Chain A
């Protein structure tokens, strides 16, 4: 473990982390509670391969987005850690 050459900016890192988290949770909410539940009736007038879109989001689509969200979070956090000199 070597100390980073750059000064650690813990406060800046944390507020950037919180901003990123809020953005990703907004997407998390939109694809599950939004597309799968609240706006299902509206989305069900469209279809994906014959399955009503809202129904598909509730049963399959939201899960794909969840996986993508976590991996994007990992990449974005690594970037933040480099930017603020945090060793991770």
Chain B
């Protein structure tokens, strides 16, 4: 059985499972469609949240990013996990107790203002669309790279699958497919990592291999890696060229941004109580940590292994007979280019430019002691993708990794689609424009909005791939979630005095300043020397978050306190089991009961 067979086998097999789940989990009410009937088991929701959260970038790119950035990559590890502590302690249980469907529901009702609701809708849509473009692009890459399908056709197939389960099943369909997708992606990620860890350190647990000695030596793996990279003229693996302030700010923006991302928050509306929201956040982080604590080990192993097998190897061109030539090189005491390299070279993820025409592949850093110029340019994504072959694993593991990458991209895309469609059908139509809409009509509009959102995001994926700016705009999603959404949700729970005027001022300030800063330094002035306090566009959301919170507090203090109904509402959501409807806060929509 060859790799192509197994790739088709796993991809088609997992797609059949997703469709099967969609047909089983049909949504029959708006409650089903938006919050999966709000009775999802906390562990199941934790698993769905993990799949919802871990995107194509986490699955494919993160280990490679860590391999190249070394310590500098820690911002992603701490940022994308630490946010769950904030979510569990500061937001999730209280928002569940509040008991509605969406993030703009909370903003609009807590701040008794349609204007605040609309600003929150704009933030949610902007954050979700920037994020989903990357997922669709990931789907296209997986299809075109492995199945030989055209990039755009790949996106269309992915859209078709998500269309079925998001439109029929809504959040209910999305939840149960995400559980299946989590199982696929975590299995696909850890199996190659275990084998790689065995090869490099002799320890089957990657997290322990990370702090073990390199195989056959008494030198710790990390120290060997530091030695190897500095010998080639790279900076030490455990160092970074970013300033401490910038590392601090980026970590902060990613953490608070994670906690403020609407597609993550809404997952906690699907459990039955505040208590279950807390437990569920814990399980979500357990399932996320399984991948996130494996990734730094995979990154370090991959970097070491890459240098070991590829650096100073003798290149074998495509027209030569690989078997004969590699035996010849080995007999002469040389190192032939490994087979996995030759296989992956075709995808364009590995580049070799023989600058000194010696037929040897030299991999060097900027300060190479031997003065040789670097000739190798590996792409970040290559490490996770090529791991199965590097570790000499059977063909079916490769098929599994492809299915895992698709699962990661599709599950995140589906979660984002729920935010986009509910922002249109619920926040915009039901809660703002047509307040008398029946539940049945709203469900129909919600399905239509989900269908339209699938098409829009697919087109965005196709369109943005041609522009190639997806990587630059991801900073927007976290920065905006941190600076515009997090402060007002947090203050709305923890500070009763926070009023409509303060919330609107805070949200608008966060939205406008963060957007302008990122846009300016990503598209107009690319010189890092001009950054405010040396903080990069990725980290600026953290700085503006504090300012926008202070502005919100200041404006609230000089304007009238919120109405009594709102203050009573805040008291209720702080204490589980005491939530009752309160006049203007719940006039537009009654809260869901807790179990």
Tell me the A residues contacting B by CB distance below 8 Å. Answer: 1, 8, 10, 13-14, 17-18, 21, 24-25, 28, 32-33, 36-38, 40, 44, 47-52, 55-56, 58-60, 62-64, 66-67, 69-71, 73-74, 77-78, 81, 86-88
Question: How far is A64 from B293 in the complex, measured between Cα atoms in Å?
Answer: 8
CB distance from A77 to the nearest CB of B (A): 6
Query: Are A37's CB and B575's CB within 8 A?
Result: no
Alpha-carbon distance between A24 and B208 when the two chains are bound, in angstroms: 27
- Residues of chain A with a CB closer than 8 A to B494's CB: 18
Task: Indicate if the CB atoms of B89 and A58 lie closer than 8 Å.
Answer: no
Q: Which of A48, A59, A81 has the most CB of B within 10 A?
A: A59
| Given A25-B89, A60-B210; A70-B289 close (CB under 8 Å) | no
The distance in angstroms between the C-alpha atoms of A70 and B251, with both chains bound, is 19
Asked, given contacts A50-B213, A60-B210, A71-B282, whether A88 binds B576 with beta carbons under 8 Å apart, the answer is yes
Contact of A14 among B86, B273, B575 (CB under 8 A): B575
- Of B76-84, B472-480, B520-528, B548-556, the segment with at least 4 beta carbons within 8 Å of chain A is B76-84
Beyond known contacts A48-B211, A67-B282: 15 more, CB 8 A cutoff: A13-B574, A33-B252, A37-B247, A50-B222, A51-B222, A58-B71, A59-B73, A59-B77, A63-B77, A70-B84, A70-B88, A73-B88, A86-B578, A88-B273, A88-B275
- Cβ < 8 Å to A, chain B residues 49-97: 66, 71, 73-74, 77-78, 81-82, 84-86, 88-90
Q: Are B220 and A51 in contact (CB under 8 A)?
A: yes
Chain A residues within an 8 Å CB radius of B71: 40, 55, 58-59
Q: Which residues of B contact A66 (CB under 8 A)?
A: 81-82, 84-85, 285, 289
Report the minimum CB–CB distance from B25 to chain A (whole Å): 27
Return chain A residues, CB-CB under 8 Å to B517.
none
CB-based A-B contact count at 8 angstroms:
143
B212 in complex: contacting residue of A36, A49, A52, CB < 8 Å: A49
Query: Is the Cβ of A32 less than 8 Å from the Cβ of B577?
Result: no
For B248, the chain A residues whose CB sits under 8 A away are 33, 37-38
- State which of B244, B273, B292, B577 has its C-beta within 8 Å of the C-beta of A63: B292
Q: A63 near B289 (CB under 8 angstroms)?
A: yes
Q: How far is it, in angstroms, between the C-alpha of A43 and the C-alpha of B220 when the chains are bound?
A: 17
- Is A59 a contact partner of B211 (Cβ separation < 8 A)? no
In the bound complex, how far is the Cα of B255 from the Cα of A73, in angstroms? 18
6 A-B pairs with CB atoms under 8 Å apart are A55-B222, A55-B238, A59-B77, A59-B210, A60-B211, A88-B274
Partner of B81 from the list A25, A33, A63 (CB cut-off 8 Å) is A63
Give bound CA distance, A51 to B208, whole Å: 11
Q: Is the CB of A59 within 8 A of B578?
A: no
Q: Is residue B198 within 8 Å, beta carbon to beta carbon, of the partner chain? A: no
